[in-house]
Amino acid sequence: MIILFSVFLLALLVITALAIVRSESLFTAVILSGIFSLLMAANFFLLDAADVALTEAAIGAGISTVLFLGALALTGEQERSGSTSRLLALGVVTVTTLIVIYATFDKPRLGDPDAPVHQHVGPWYLEKTPELIDIPNAVTAVLASFRGYDTLGEVFVVFTAGIGVLFLLSAGIARRPEDVPPADKPGQGLRHYLVPRVVGRMLIPFIFLFGLYVQFHGDYGPGGGFQAGAIVAAAVILYALLEGEGEALRALPMHVLKWLVAGGALLYGAVGVAGMLLGSNFLDYSVLASDPIAGQHIGIILIELGVGITVTGVLLCVFHAFAARGKV
Amino acid sequence: MAMVIDILSWILLTAGGVFVFIGGLGALRMPNLYTRMHAASLTDTMAAVLIIGGIMLQAGLSLATIKLAAILLFLLLTSPTASNALASAAILSGLQPKEGKVEPREQQE
Protein backbone atom coordinates (compact mmCIF):
# COMPACT_ATOMS: atom_id res chain seq x y z
CA MET A 1 0.00 0.00 0.00
CA ILE A 2 2.83 2.38 0.96
CA ILE A 3 4.57 1.53 -2.31
CA LEU A 4 1.39 2.46 -4.20
CA PHE A 5 1.21 5.83 -2.42
CA SER A 6 4.90 6.45 -3.04
CA VAL A 7 4.59 5.72 -6.76
CA PHE A 8 1.54 7.99 -6.95
CA LEU A 9 3.33 10.84 -5.16
CA LEU A 10 6.52 10.42 -7.16
CA ALA A 11 4.52 10.47 -10.40
CA LEU A 12 2.87 13.71 -9.25
CA LEU A 13 6.37 15.08 -8.49
CA VAL A 14 7.52 14.36 -12.02
CA ILE A 15 4.37 15.92 -13.49
CA THR A 16 4.84 19.03 -11.33
CA ALA A 17 8.50 19.31 -12.33
CA LEU A 18 7.56 19.09 -16.02
CA ALA A 19 4.86 21.71 -15.51
CA ILE A 20 7.42 24.04 -13.86
CA VAL A 21 9.74 23.66 -16.84
CA ARG A 22 6.92 24.18 -19.33
CA SER A 23 5.25 27.21 -17.74
CA GLU A 24 6.15 30.58 -19.24
CA SER A 25 4.64 32.54 -16.38
CA LEU A 26 7.08 32.77 -13.48
CA PHE A 27 4.22 33.28 -11.04
CA THR A 28 2.78 29.89 -12.02
CA ALA A 29 6.24 28.35 -11.69
CA VAL A 30 6.62 29.70 -8.14
CA ILE A 31 3.25 28.32 -7.04
CA LEU A 32 4.05 25.00 -8.70
CA SER A 33 7.38 24.81 -6.88
CA GLY A 34 5.45 25.29 -3.63
CA ILE A 35 3.27 22.33 -4.63
CA PHE A 36 6.44 20.38 -5.47
CA SER A 37 7.81 20.98 -1.97
CA LEU A 38 4.53 19.94 -0.37
CA LEU A 39 4.50 16.69 -2.37
CA MET A 40 8.13 16.13 -1.39
CA ALA A 41 7.16 16.62 2.26
CA ALA A 42 4.43 13.99 1.89
CA ASN A 43 7.03 11.67 0.36
CA PHE A 44 9.42 12.20 3.26
CA PHE A 45 6.58 11.47 5.65
CA LEU A 46 5.84 8.18 3.89
CA LEU A 47 9.51 7.28 4.40
CA ASP A 48 9.02 7.92 8.17
CA ALA A 49 11.19 11.03 8.10
CA ALA A 50 8.76 13.28 9.96
CA ASP A 51 11.41 15.84 10.96
CA VAL A 52 12.56 16.33 7.39
CA ALA A 53 8.95 16.46 6.18
CA LEU A 54 8.18 19.24 8.65
CA THR A 55 11.25 21.21 7.53
CA GLU A 56 10.41 20.76 3.86
CA ALA A 57 6.80 21.86 4.40
CA ALA A 58 7.72 24.90 6.51
CA ILE A 59 10.70 26.11 4.51
CA GLY A 60 10.19 24.70 1.01
CA ALA A 61 6.47 25.17 0.62
CA GLY A 62 6.01 28.09 2.98
CA ILE A 63 8.85 30.56 3.34
CA SER A 64 10.63 30.05 0.03
CA THR A 65 7.39 30.59 -1.88
CA VAL A 66 7.00 33.92 -0.09
CA LEU A 67 10.62 34.87 -0.82
CA PHE A 68 10.22 33.86 -4.48
CA LEU A 69 7.11 36.03 -4.72
CA GLY A 70 9.09 38.87 -3.15
CA ALA A 71 11.75 38.41 -5.82
CA LEU A 72 9.07 38.29 -8.55
CA ALA A 73 7.69 41.62 -7.36
CA LEU A 74 11.13 43.08 -8.18
CA THR A 75 11.38 41.51 -11.64
CA GLY A 76 8.86 40.58 -14.29
CA GLU A 77 6.24 37.87 -14.24
CA GLN A 78 7.08 36.43 -17.63
CA GLU A 79 10.02 34.28 -18.55
CA ARG A 80 12.30 35.86 -21.12
CA SER A 81 12.60 33.82 -24.28
CA GLY A 82 15.73 31.74 -23.95
CA SER A 83 18.83 32.71 -25.87
CA THR A 84 20.90 29.72 -24.80
CA SER A 85 20.93 26.50 -26.75
CA ARG A 86 18.18 24.11 -25.69
CA LEU A 87 19.94 21.13 -27.27
CA LEU A 88 22.95 21.56 -25.00
CA ALA A 89 20.70 21.67 -21.91
CA LEU A 90 18.78 18.63 -23.11
CA GLY A 91 22.06 16.76 -23.65
CA VAL A 92 23.37 17.57 -20.18
CA VAL A 93 20.08 16.55 -18.55
CA THR A 94 19.92 13.29 -20.51
CA VAL A 95 23.47 12.30 -19.61
CA THR A 96 22.93 13.15 -15.92
CA THR A 97 19.68 11.18 -15.87
CA LEU A 98 21.35 8.14 -17.39
CA ILE A 99 24.19 8.31 -14.85
CA VAL A 100 21.72 8.60 -11.96
CA ILE A 101 19.63 5.69 -13.28
CA TYR A 102 22.82 3.63 -13.67
CA ALA A 103 23.82 4.50 -10.09
CA THR A 104 20.47 3.28 -8.73
CA PHE A 105 21.25 -0.26 -9.96
CA ASP A 106 23.67 -0.60 -7.02
CA LYS A 107 21.24 0.92 -4.55
CA PRO A 108 19.94 -1.48 -1.88
CA ARG A 109 16.20 -2.17 -1.82
CA LEU A 110 14.01 0.31 0.11
CA GLY A 111 14.08 -0.59 3.81
CA ASP A 112 16.70 -3.32 3.37
CA PRO A 113 18.20 -3.93 6.86
CA ASP A 114 21.53 -4.95 5.27
CA ALA A 115 21.92 -1.61 3.49
CA PRO A 116 25.23 0.11 4.33
CA VAL A 117 23.42 3.06 5.90
CA HIS A 118 21.90 0.70 8.50
CA GLN A 119 25.23 -1.00 9.20
CA HIS A 120 27.43 2.02 9.91
CA VAL A 121 26.94 4.36 12.91
CA GLY A 122 23.12 4.35 12.70
CA PRO A 123 22.54 1.36 15.02
CA TRP A 124 24.99 2.76 17.55
CA TYR A 125 23.09 6.07 17.71
CA LEU A 126 19.76 4.29 18.14
CA GLU A 127 21.19 2.03 20.82
CA LYS A 128 23.00 4.72 22.82
CA THR A 129 20.38 7.50 22.64
CA PRO A 130 18.23 6.19 25.53
CA GLU A 131 21.34 5.57 27.63
CA LEU A 132 23.41 8.71 26.95
CA ILE A 133 20.81 11.36 26.14
CA ASP A 134 17.46 9.87 27.12
CA ILE A 135 15.11 11.74 24.81
CA PRO A 136 12.45 9.98 22.75
CA ASN A 137 13.30 11.61 19.40
CA ALA A 138 16.54 10.01 18.21
CA VAL A 139 16.69 12.44 15.26
CA THR A 140 17.09 15.38 17.64
CA ALA A 141 19.67 13.45 19.66
CA VAL A 142 21.76 12.82 16.54
CA LEU A 143 21.29 16.30 15.13
CA ALA A 144 21.87 18.29 18.30
CA SER A 145 24.27 16.22 20.34
CA PHE A 146 26.05 13.36 18.53
CA ARG A 147 26.57 15.43 15.41
CA GLY A 148 26.49 18.87 17.00
CA TYR A 149 29.42 20.03 14.89
CA ASP A 150 27.48 19.41 11.67
CA THR A 151 24.50 21.37 12.94
CA LEU A 152 26.79 24.19 14.07
CA GLY A 153 28.09 24.23 10.50
CA GLU A 154 24.53 24.36 9.16
CA VAL A 155 23.68 27.31 11.39
CA PHE A 156 26.72 29.13 10.11
CA VAL A 157 25.69 28.32 6.53
CA VAL A 158 22.29 29.94 7.23
CA PHE A 159 24.07 32.85 8.94
CA THR A 160 26.45 33.33 6.00
CA ALA A 161 23.61 33.10 3.49
CA GLY A 162 21.69 35.78 5.37
CA ILE A 163 24.74 38.08 5.50
CA GLY A 164 25.34 37.46 1.79
CA VAL A 165 21.77 38.41 0.83
CA LEU A 166 21.97 41.53 3.00
CA PHE A 167 25.18 42.56 1.25
CA LEU A 168 23.76 41.91 -2.21
CA LEU A 169 20.53 43.81 -1.47
CA SER A 170 22.26 46.27 0.81
CA ALA A 171 19.34 48.73 0.73
CA GLY A 172 17.71 46.58 3.38
CA ILE A 173 20.35 47.23 6.00
CA ALA A 174 19.37 50.81 6.75
CA ARG A 175 15.66 50.00 6.62
CA ARG A 176 13.70 51.95 9.24
CA PRO A 177 9.93 52.07 9.71
CA GLU A 178 9.93 55.68 8.45
CA ASP A 179 11.38 54.56 5.09
CA VAL A 180 8.30 52.50 4.32
CA PRO A 181 5.56 54.44 2.55
CA PRO A 182 2.64 55.19 4.89
CA ALA A 183 0.24 52.34 5.33
CA ASP A 184 -2.96 54.24 4.52
CA LYS A 185 -2.07 54.18 0.83
CA PRO A 186 -3.58 51.28 -1.11
CA GLY A 187 -1.03 48.63 -1.86
CA GLN A 188 0.54 48.73 1.61
CA GLY A 189 -0.62 45.60 3.37
CA LEU A 190 -4.16 44.35 3.42
CA ARG A 191 -5.53 47.07 5.71
CA HIS A 192 -8.56 47.63 3.55
CA TYR A 193 -9.55 44.01 3.29
CA LEU A 194 -11.58 43.14 6.30
CA VAL A 195 -11.83 39.35 6.13
CA PRO A 196 -8.13 38.42 5.65
CA ARG A 197 -7.17 41.02 8.22
CA VAL A 198 -9.52 39.82 10.96
CA VAL A 199 -8.76 36.13 10.40
CA GLY A 200 -5.03 36.80 10.05
CA ARG A 201 -4.94 38.74 13.30
CA MET A 202 -6.79 35.93 15.00
CA LEU A 203 -4.32 33.33 13.70
CA ILE A 204 -0.99 35.07 14.39
CA PRO A 205 -0.88 34.29 18.16
CA PHE A 206 -1.64 30.64 17.42
CA ILE A 207 1.10 30.49 14.79
CA PHE A 208 3.55 31.86 17.37
CA LEU A 209 2.31 29.33 19.92
CA PHE A 210 2.76 26.52 17.41
CA GLY A 211 6.25 27.82 16.62
CA LEU A 212 7.19 27.67 20.30
CA TYR A 213 5.68 24.18 20.58
CA VAL A 214 7.74 22.96 17.63
CA GLN A 215 10.83 24.68 19.08
CA PHE A 216 10.66 23.17 22.55
CA HIS A 217 8.98 19.88 21.71
CA GLY A 218 11.84 18.84 19.40
CA ASP A 219 13.17 16.45 22.07
CA TYR A 220 9.92 14.49 22.14
CA GLY A 221 8.55 14.65 18.63
CA PRO A 222 9.35 15.97 15.18
CA GLY A 223 10.52 19.54 15.33
CA GLY A 224 13.35 21.75 16.43
CA GLY A 225 14.98 25.06 15.72
CA PHE A 226 14.98 25.02 11.93
CA GLN A 227 11.26 24.31 11.60
CA ALA A 228 10.30 26.60 14.49
CA GLY A 229 12.38 29.45 13.06
CA ALA A 230 10.54 29.18 9.76
CA ILE A 231 7.14 29.11 11.49
CA VAL A 232 7.86 32.15 13.66
CA ALA A 233 9.22 34.04 10.64
CA ALA A 234 6.05 33.10 8.74
CA ALA A 235 3.93 34.63 11.51
CA VAL A 236 5.87 37.91 11.34
CA ILE A 237 5.67 37.94 7.52
CA LEU A 238 1.90 37.40 7.77
CA TYR A 239 1.77 40.39 10.11
CA ALA A 240 3.77 42.43 7.59
CA LEU A 241 1.40 41.41 4.79
CA LEU A 242 -1.67 42.32 6.84
CA GLU A 243 -0.58 45.57 8.44
CA GLY A 244 2.07 46.79 6.04
CA GLU A 245 5.80 46.28 6.28
CA GLY A 246 6.30 49.41 8.38
CA GLU A 247 4.31 47.97 11.27
CA ALA A 248 6.36 44.78 11.20
CA LEU A 249 9.56 46.83 11.25
CA ARG A 250 8.22 48.84 14.17
CA ALA A 251 7.59 45.61 16.08
CA LEU A 252 10.92 44.00 15.12
CA PRO A 253 13.33 46.67 13.86
CA MET A 254 16.16 45.79 11.54
CA HIS A 255 18.85 46.25 14.21
CA VAL A 256 17.05 43.76 16.46
CA LEU A 257 16.88 41.30 13.57
CA LYS A 258 20.62 41.65 12.98
CA TRP A 259 21.21 40.89 16.65
CA LEU A 260 18.98 37.83 16.29
CA VAL A 261 20.97 36.62 13.27
CA ALA A 262 24.27 36.87 15.09
CA GLY A 263 22.93 36.06 18.56
CA GLY A 264 21.56 32.64 17.68
CA ALA A 265 24.81 31.48 16.11
CA LEU A 266 26.75 32.97 19.04
CA LEU A 267 24.50 31.18 21.56
CA TYR A 268 25.24 27.88 19.82
CA GLY A 269 28.97 28.57 19.85
CA ALA A 270 28.85 29.76 23.46
CA VAL A 271 27.27 26.48 24.59
CA GLY A 272 30.22 24.71 22.95
CA VAL A 273 32.75 26.99 24.64
CA ALA A 274 30.97 26.56 27.99
CA GLY A 275 31.59 22.83 27.66
CA MET A 276 35.29 23.54 27.12
CA LEU A 277 35.50 25.91 30.10
CA LEU A 278 33.90 23.28 32.33
CA GLY A 279 36.70 20.93 31.42
CA SER A 280 35.40 18.83 28.56
CA ASN A 281 35.33 18.95 24.76
CA PHE A 282 33.78 21.60 22.52
CA LEU A 283 30.02 20.95 22.25
CA ASP A 284 30.04 18.24 24.92
CA TYR A 285 26.93 19.06 26.93
CA SER A 286 27.39 16.39 29.59
CA VAL A 287 29.31 18.75 31.87
CA LEU A 288 26.67 21.52 31.82
CA ALA A 289 24.91 19.99 34.83
CA SER A 290 26.00 17.67 37.60
CA ASP A 291 24.06 14.85 35.95
CA PRO A 292 25.37 14.13 32.42
CA ILE A 293 21.90 13.36 31.03
CA ALA A 294 20.42 16.58 32.46
CA GLY A 295 23.42 18.40 30.97
CA GLN A 296 22.61 16.90 27.57
CA HIS A 297 18.99 18.10 27.88
CA ILE A 298 20.08 21.64 28.76
CA GLY A 299 22.59 21.71 25.93
CA ILE A 300 20.09 20.48 23.35
CA ILE A 301 17.42 22.99 24.41
CA LEU A 302 19.97 25.84 24.25
CA ILE A 303 21.46 24.99 20.88
CA GLU A 304 18.00 24.40 19.37
CA LEU A 305 17.06 27.85 20.67
CA GLY A 306 20.16 29.27 18.98
CA VAL A 307 19.21 27.57 15.70
CA GLY A 308 15.65 28.90 15.93
CA ILE A 309 16.76 32.47 16.67
CA THR A 310 19.23 32.56 13.78
CA VAL A 311 16.77 31.04 11.29
CA THR A 312 14.03 33.51 12.29
CA GLY A 313 16.43 36.44 12.04
CA VAL A 314 17.87 35.44 8.67
CA LEU A 315 14.48 34.75 7.07
CA LEU A 316 13.04 38.06 8.26
CA CYS A 317 16.18 40.00 7.20
CA VAL A 318 15.94 38.45 3.73
CA PHE A 319 12.22 39.25 3.56
CA HIS A 320 12.79 42.90 4.48
CA ALA A 321 15.78 43.14 2.14
CA PHE A 322 13.56 42.01 -0.75
CA ALA A 323 10.72 44.29 0.29
CA ALA A 324 13.08 47.26 0.54
CA ARG A 325 14.06 47.11 -3.11
CA GLY A 326 12.08 49.17 -5.56
CA LYS A 327 11.07 47.63 -8.85
CA VAL A 328 14.13 47.21 -11.05
CA MET B 1 -19.85 -0.83 18.47
CA ALA B 2 -16.32 -0.72 17.07
CA MET B 3 -17.73 -2.15 13.84
CA VAL B 4 -20.37 0.61 13.62
CA ILE B 5 -17.77 3.33 14.20
CA ASP B 6 -15.48 1.80 11.60
CA ILE B 7 -18.24 1.64 8.99
CA LEU B 8 -19.33 5.20 9.82
CA SER B 9 -15.77 6.47 9.49
CA TRP B 10 -15.35 4.76 6.12
CA ILE B 11 -18.63 6.26 4.91
CA LEU B 12 -17.32 9.71 5.88
CA LEU B 13 -13.93 9.09 4.27
CA THR B 14 -15.47 7.84 1.03
CA ALA B 15 -17.93 10.72 0.88
CA GLY B 16 -15.01 13.10 1.46
CA GLY B 17 -13.09 11.47 -1.36
CA VAL B 18 -16.10 11.85 -3.67
CA PHE B 19 -16.33 15.56 -2.81
CA VAL B 20 -12.58 16.02 -3.49
CA PHE B 21 -13.08 14.36 -6.86
CA ILE B 22 -16.10 16.53 -7.74
CA GLY B 23 -14.19 19.63 -6.61
CA GLY B 24 -11.21 18.71 -8.76
CA LEU B 25 -13.45 17.99 -11.74
CA GLY B 26 -15.18 21.33 -11.30
CA ALA B 27 -11.87 23.18 -10.97
CA LEU B 28 -10.80 21.66 -14.29
CA ARG B 29 -14.04 21.99 -16.24
CA MET B 30 -15.74 25.21 -15.05
CA PRO B 31 -15.55 28.12 -17.51
CA ASN B 32 -13.99 30.98 -15.49
CA LEU B 33 -12.14 31.79 -12.26
CA TYR B 34 -15.14 32.50 -10.05
CA THR B 35 -17.02 29.33 -10.97
CA ARG B 36 -13.80 27.33 -10.65
CA MET B 37 -13.22 28.76 -7.18
CA HIS B 38 -16.76 27.79 -6.30
CA ALA B 39 -16.00 24.20 -7.29
CA ALA B 40 -12.61 24.15 -5.57
CA SER B 41 -14.06 25.49 -2.32
CA LEU B 42 -15.96 22.21 -2.09
CA THR B 43 -12.61 20.53 -1.41
CA ASP B 44 -11.64 23.11 1.21
CA THR B 45 -14.75 22.88 3.32
CA MET B 46 -17.13 19.93 2.78
CA ALA B 47 -14.46 17.38 1.85
CA ALA B 48 -12.11 18.55 4.62
CA VAL B 49 -14.85 18.24 7.25
CA LEU B 50 -15.84 14.77 6.05
CA ILE B 51 -12.29 13.41 5.74
CA ILE B 52 -11.04 14.80 9.04
CA GLY B 53 -14.26 13.60 10.69
CA GLY B 54 -13.57 10.13 9.30
CA ILE B 55 -9.99 10.12 10.56
CA MET B 56 -11.15 11.37 13.97
CA LEU B 57 -13.47 8.37 14.25
CA GLN B 58 -10.54 6.11 13.34
CA ALA B 59 -8.31 7.74 15.95
CA GLY B 60 -10.85 7.33 18.76
CA LEU B 61 -10.55 9.29 21.99
CA SER B 62 -6.90 10.30 22.00
CA LEU B 63 -4.57 13.27 21.67
CA ALA B 64 -4.60 12.75 17.90
CA THR B 65 -8.34 13.55 17.81
CA ILE B 66 -7.77 16.86 19.59
CA LYS B 67 -5.00 17.73 17.13
CA LEU B 68 -7.29 16.82 14.23
CA ALA B 69 -10.04 19.01 15.68
CA ALA B 70 -7.57 21.90 15.87
CA ILE B 71 -6.52 21.28 12.27
CA LEU B 72 -10.19 21.26 11.20
CA LEU B 73 -10.85 24.51 13.05
CA PHE B 74 -7.90 26.26 11.42
CA LEU B 75 -8.80 24.83 8.01
CA LEU B 76 -12.36 26.14 8.34
CA LEU B 77 -10.96 29.56 9.27
CA THR B 78 -8.23 29.83 6.65
CA SER B 79 -9.72 28.23 3.51
CA PRO B 80 -12.70 30.61 3.17
CA THR B 81 -10.35 33.50 3.95
CA ALA B 82 -8.01 32.41 1.17
CA SER B 83 -10.98 32.12 -1.21
CA ASN B 84 -12.11 35.61 -0.21
CA ALA B 85 -8.63 37.05 -0.74
CA LEU B 86 -8.34 35.29 -4.10
CA ALA B 87 -11.68 36.64 -5.31
CA SER B 88 -10.80 40.15 -4.08
CA ALA B 89 -7.49 39.98 -5.93
CA ALA B 90 -9.29 38.83 -9.10
CA ILE B 91 -11.78 41.71 -8.90
CA LEU B 92 -8.97 44.17 -8.20
CA SER B 93 -7.05 42.98 -11.26
CA GLY B 94 -10.14 43.64 -13.37
CA LEU B 95 -11.48 40.16 -14.00
CA GLN B 96 -15.26 40.43 -14.38
CA PRO B 97 -17.70 37.63 -13.69
CA LYS B 98 -19.81 36.48 -16.61
CA GLU B 99 -22.97 38.20 -15.42
CA GLY B 100 -23.26 41.40 -13.41
CA LYS B 101 -20.55 43.99 -12.94
CA VAL B 102 -18.42 44.25 -9.81
CA GLU B 103 -16.57 47.42 -8.85
CA PRO B 104 -13.27 46.93 -7.04
CA ARG B 105 -13.68 48.12 -3.47
CA GLU B 106 -10.42 49.77 -2.51
CA GLN B 107 -11.53 51.37 0.73
CA GLN B 108 -13.40 48.53 2.34
CA GLU B 109 -13.37 49.59 5.98
pLDDT at B60: 85
Question: CA dist A7 to A40, A50, B17, Å?
Answer: 12, 19, 19
Residue A302: other Cβ atoms inside 10 A: 18
pLDDT in tens, A198-221: 898 899 999 999 999 999 988 888
Q: Do B108 and A203 touch (CB under 8 A)?
A: no
More confidently predicted of B44 and A180: B44
A199 and B78 within 8 Å at the Cβ level: the answer is yes
Q: Tell me the pLDDT tens digit for each residue of A217-269.
A: 888 888 888 999 999 999 999 998 888 888 888 888 888 998 999 999 999 99
Q: A133 and A256: one domain?
A: yes
Range of the domain at A304: 121-328
Same-domain check for residues A230 and A150: yes
Per residue in A36-84, pLDDT tens? 999 999 999 998 888 899 999 998 888 899 888 888 888 777 777 766 6
Residue contact A199–B74, C-beta within 8 A: no
* E strand or H helix at A323: helix A292-324
Residues of chain B with C-beta less than 8 angstroms from the C-beta of A196: 81, 84-85
Residues in chain B closer than 8 A to A203 (CB atoms): 74, 77-78
Closest CA to A63 of A278, A232, A275, A299: A232
Residues A207 and A186 in one domain: yes
Tell me, yes or no, whether A290 and A247 share the same domain.
yes
> Residue B109 — very low, low, confident or very high, per pLDDT cuts 50/70/90?
very low
Amino acid at A256: V
Question: Domain count of chain A?
Answer: 3
Q: What is the pLDDT of residue A175?
A: 57
Residues of chain A in contact with residue B85, where contact means CB-CB under 8 angstroms, are 190, 193, 195-196
Q: What are phi and psi of A83, to 5 degrees?
A: -100, -20
Residues of B in contact with A186 (CB under 8 A): 106-107
Asked if B106's CB is within 8 angstroms of A196's CB, the reply is no
| pTM assigned to the model | 0.84
Query: Of A265, A206, A237, nearest to A321 (Cα)?
Result: A237
